[in-house]
């Protein structure tokens, strides 16, 4: 495999023995011409990236750039808040497994989302993370510049590598905490989803515009597809317009940019799409293109980041079949498709089930579709693996709360972002009846977890409500709420629960993925018919539904939930173990085998990247 040195100004190949060279910060930098050497001397930082040796099969060989505001790489790297970031991390892990020539672009959040503390009354407090980057992150040499509120802001980058020794997939994390910036500008990459709308717009400028510039600076000159994971990165389309066609509108090739861009929307409600008034846009981000073109692409009344992405993307998709329908209603006339989400199988399968699959389904890590063979695994083996996972979760509960849960009770798990539409308290609609059900149909207990956004008062009230209910019925039905939900806790909960509960209002669940994670560990779902569960649900086979597929009816949903819990689920769990084990095996064979990111990435490659 040959490696070449590149001129940092023009990008042309230069030979190691060229006499046109200079030493900058201890590095010998070579040039193809005196012109390029003189340009470099005027602004060394701008051109420093290409002084690194470029492997033809590494940076140059990357064809897909995946932009996401958050990404879950490691529990100790606070660059994610919840489902969007976890999905992005799983997507990139599958790309690495499948040797998809991609590079991830995200942000280095030094103070993360927040550390959650819940007081005895259920009130959530948020504490900063104070993350200091180090290994396995490594700093990259180049710096690029973006304009924010008329100031030049310097952006640096860190790299995290996913994959094994055969193939590494780089994830580039942008960072403004550099000496050249003011204290205020250094803070742009402090808090994920923190601050006001101006702060958010500044962050999205760094991601979209700064991200494209950083890829150029790092030598990723072969990118053919720019994939925007939600609208946070949509400003990249404007940078591509300028990059491809120059500064004059007559030179812009809208169709060329459109052919390069992919847009995935995760938001099923209009209020969830980032929008900014034009006065703020001009003040914070400036006008990367002329005002009339900017408004043409992004919306006349306000800048709608989703609309901006839709207008310059060749392929647009929602994240479940039902979400495609909802998205088309929100954005009529746009050809929106769907690729249903998945989860990274090897990441979300607990140790005991990994060992089980390794024995009975040796190829499952490379080809999760092989998990359909789980139907051949003996019941007692699945039961033993689940018992081990349940013990691990109980140990966590004991560590966090001091509570000892019962091995024999049906343990229902509910863990996700705390917000009103997810209706965490729906199962407690009639506490007296729930207690009676536990006394007559069999014992049950609940394990909850999840953070509410600091500004989400409704989500915080949901947490307070669960804590209050726990005190009210705790003598009959143990209820625990674990604080500071993260990747490690999630893996223990989705594998250790006996039943995974999900009760969102319809149609507000774009996809949801926690039930997919549970299925990889043989845990069936009990969920309203929304998001992925419309596709994954077979009543009494892979789990159970709550209510109808029509618009949510809180009272009707709650009554159906309690009726099935009393007459179907608890009797099967306590008195018909063969029936229960059959549902567990089918959750693996039918749901885990399909709702995984290997299948999802293959669909993106076929439908979006190559189509």
pLDDT, mean over the chain: 92
91, 172: one domain:
yes
Q: Please state which of the ranges 34-48, 184-198, 489-503 shows the lowest mean pLDDT.
A: 34-48
203, 63: one domain:
yes
312, 405: one domain:
no
188, 133: one domain:
yes
Q: What is the pLDDT of residue 5?
A: 62
User: 365: which DSSP letter?
Assistant: T
Q: Please state which of the ranges 21-35, 253-267, 270-284 shows the lowest mean pLDDT.
A: 21-35
Residue 35 in domain: no
Q: Please state which of the ranges 216-220, 245-249, 554-558 shows the lowest mean pLDDT.
A: 245-249
Residue 48 in domain: no
Helix H or strand E encompassing 280:
helix 278-284
CA 210 – CA 152 distance, rounded (Å): 12
Confidence of residue 271 (pLDDT cuts 50, 70, 90): confident
For residues 587-596, give the mean pLDDT.
Answer: 98
Q: What is the pLDDT of residue 247?
A: 55
Residue 359 in domain: yes
pLDDT in tens, 565-583: 999 999 999 999 999 999 9
Q: What is the pLDDT of residue 55?
A: 43
CA 570 – CA 437 distance, rounded (Å): 9
Q: Please state which of the ranges 2-6, 115-119, 303-307 shows the lowest mean pLDDT.
A: 2-6
CA 565 – CA 409 distance, rounded (Å): 13
CATH number for position 232:
3.40.50.2000
For residues 342-350, give the mean pLDDT.
Answer: 98
Q: Which is nearest to 401 in space by CA: 326, 347, 464, 482?
A: 482
CA angle, corner 558, sides to 555 and 563, nearest 5?
Answer: 125
Residue 150, class by beta-carbon neighbours within 10 Å (0-12 exposed, 13-18 middle, 19+ buried)? exposed
CA-based max dimension of the chain: 88
Q: For residue 169, report the phi and psi dihedrals to the nearest 5 degrees.
A: -115, 115
CA 235 – CA 250 distance, rounded (Å): 20
305, 363: one domain:
no
For residues 484-488, give the mean pLDDT.
Answer: 96
333, 369: one domain:
no
Q: What is the pLDDT of residue 42?
A: 86
Residue 57 has pLDDT above 60, yes or no: no
% of the chain beyond a pLDDT of 70 = 95
Return the bridge partners of 113, or none. Answer: none
Residue 411 in domain: yes
257, 310: one domain:
yes
Cβ neighbours, 10 Å, residue 359: 10
pLDDT in tens, 167-224: 999 999 999 999 999 999 999 999 999 889 999 999 999 999 999 999 999 999 899 9
Cβ neighbours, 10 Å, residue 585: 20
Give the domain-ending residue among 274, 308, 338: 338
Scored b (16 or more CB within 10 A) or e, 79-109 reads bbbbbbbbbbbbbbbbbbbbebbbbbbbbbb
Strand ranges in 450-524 using DSSP code E only, listed in sequence order: 479-482, 499-502
* Helix (H/G/I), strand (E/B), else coil: 528: strand
Q: What is the pLDDT of residue 51?
A: 46
For residues 135-161, give the mean pLDDT.
Answer: 95
364, 501: one domain:
yes
Residue 10 in domain: no
Q: What is the pLDDT of residue 52?
A: 43
Cβ neighbours, 10 Å, residue 333: 7
What's the pTM value of the predicted model, to 2 decimals? Answer: 0.89
Count: domains in the chain: 2
248, 130: one domain:
yes
Start-to-end CA distance of the chain, whole Å, equals: 30
Confidence of residue 249 (pLDDT cuts 50, 70, 90): low
Return the bridge partners of 105, or none. Answer: 67, 172
Range of the domain at 561: 353-595
Q: What is the pLDDT of residue 378?
A: 96
Give the domain-ending residue among 291, 311, 338: 338
281, 359: one domain:
no
Confidence of residue 248 (pLDDT cuts 50, 70, 90): low
pLDDT in tens, 506-515: 999 999 999 9
520, 482: one domain:
yes
For residues 70-82, give the mean pLDDT.
Answer: 94
Residue 526 in domain: yes
Give the domain-ending residue among 314, 338, 362: 338
298 or 553, which is more confident?
298
Residue 159 has pLDDT above 70, yes or no: yes
Residue 31 in domain: no
Residue 21 in domain: no
For residue 136, whether the previous peptide bond is cis, meaning omega lies within 30 degrees of 0, is yes
CA 22 – CA 392 distance, rounded (Å): 59
- 153, 288 in Cβ contact below 8 A? no
* Helix (H/G/I), strand (E/B), else coil: 198: helix
pLDDT in tens, 365-377: 999 999 999 999 9
Q: What is the pLDDT of residue 252?
A: 76
550, 573: one domain:
yes
- 588, 522 in Cβ contact below 8 A? yes
């Amino acid at each position: 495999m040959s490696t070449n040195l590149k001129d940092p100004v023009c990008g042309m190949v230069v030979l190691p023995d060229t006499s046109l060279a200079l030493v900058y910060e201890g590095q010998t930098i070579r040039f193809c011409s005196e012109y390029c050497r003189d340009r470099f001397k005027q602004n060394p930082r701008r051109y420093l990236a290409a002084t690194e040796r470029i492997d033809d099969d590494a940076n140059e060989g990357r064809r897909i750039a995946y932009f996401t505001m958050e990404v879950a790489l490691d529990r100790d790297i606070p660059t994610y808040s919840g489902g969007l970031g976890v999905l992005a991390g799983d997507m990139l892990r599958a790309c690495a497994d499948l040797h998809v020539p991609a590079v991830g672009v995200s942000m280095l959040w030094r103070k993360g989302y927040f550390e959650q503390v819940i007081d005895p009354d259920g009130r959530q407090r948020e504490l900063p993370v104070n993350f200091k980057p180090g290994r396995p992150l490594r700093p990259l040499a180049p710096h690029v510049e973006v304009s924010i509120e008329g100031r030049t802001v310097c952006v640096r980058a860190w790299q995290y590598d996913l994959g094994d020794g055969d193939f590494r997939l780089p994830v580039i994390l942008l960072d403004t905490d550099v000496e050249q910036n003011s204290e205020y500008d250094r803070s742009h990459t402090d808090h994920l989803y923190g601050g006001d709308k101006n702060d958010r717009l500044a962050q999205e400028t760094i991601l979209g515009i700064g991200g494209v510039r950083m890829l150029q600076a790092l030598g990723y000159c072969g990118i053919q597809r720019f994939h925007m994971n939600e609208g946070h990165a949509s400003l990249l389309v404007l940078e591509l317009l300028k990059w491809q066609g120059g500064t004059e509108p007559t030179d812009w090739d809208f169709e060329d940019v459109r052919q390069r861009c992919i847009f995935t929307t995760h938001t099923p409600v209009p209020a969830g799409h980032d929008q900014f008034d034009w006065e703020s846009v001009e003040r914070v981000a400036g006008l990367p293109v002329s005002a009339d073109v900017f408004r043409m692409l992004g919306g006349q009344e306000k800048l709608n980041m989703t609309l901006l992405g839709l207008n310059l993307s060749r392929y647009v998709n929602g994240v479940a079949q039902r979400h495609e329908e909802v998205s088309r209603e929100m954005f009529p006339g746009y050809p929106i498709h769907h690729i249903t989400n998945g989860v990274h199988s090897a990441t979300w399968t607990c140790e005991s089930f990994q060992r089980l699959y390794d024995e009975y389904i040796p190829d499952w890590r490379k080809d999760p579709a092989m998990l359909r063979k789980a139907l051949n695994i003996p019941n007692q083996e699945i039961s033993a693996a689940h018992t081990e996972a349940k013990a691990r979760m109980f140990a966590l509960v004991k560590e966090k709360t001091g509570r000892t849960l019962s091995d024999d009770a049906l343990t229902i798990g509910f863990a996700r972002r705390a917000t009103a539409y997810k209706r965490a308290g729906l199962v407690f609609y009639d506490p007296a009846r729930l207690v009676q059900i536990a006394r007559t149909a069999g014992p049950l207990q609940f394990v909850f977890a999840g953070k509410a956004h600091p500004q989400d008062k409704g989500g915080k009230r949901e947490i307070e409500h669960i804590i209050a209910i726990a005190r009210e019925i705790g003598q009959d039905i143990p209820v625990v709420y674990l604080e500071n939900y993260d990747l490690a806790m999630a893996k223990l909960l989705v594998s250790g629960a006996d039943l995974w509960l999900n009760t969102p209002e319809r149609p507000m669940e774009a996809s949801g993925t926690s039930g997919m994670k549970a299925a990889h560990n043989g845990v069936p779902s009990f969920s309203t018919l929304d998001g992925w569960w419309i596709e994954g649900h077979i009543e009494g086979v892979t789990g159970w539904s709550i209510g109808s597929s029509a618009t949510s009816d809180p009272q009707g949903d709650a009554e159906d939930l309690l009726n099935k819990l009393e007459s179907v689920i608890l009797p099967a769990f306590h008195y018909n173990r063969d029936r229960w084990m059959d549902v567990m095996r089918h959750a693996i064979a039918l749901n885990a085998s399909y709702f995984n990111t290997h299948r999802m990435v293959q669909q993106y490659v076929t439908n979006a990247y190559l189509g």
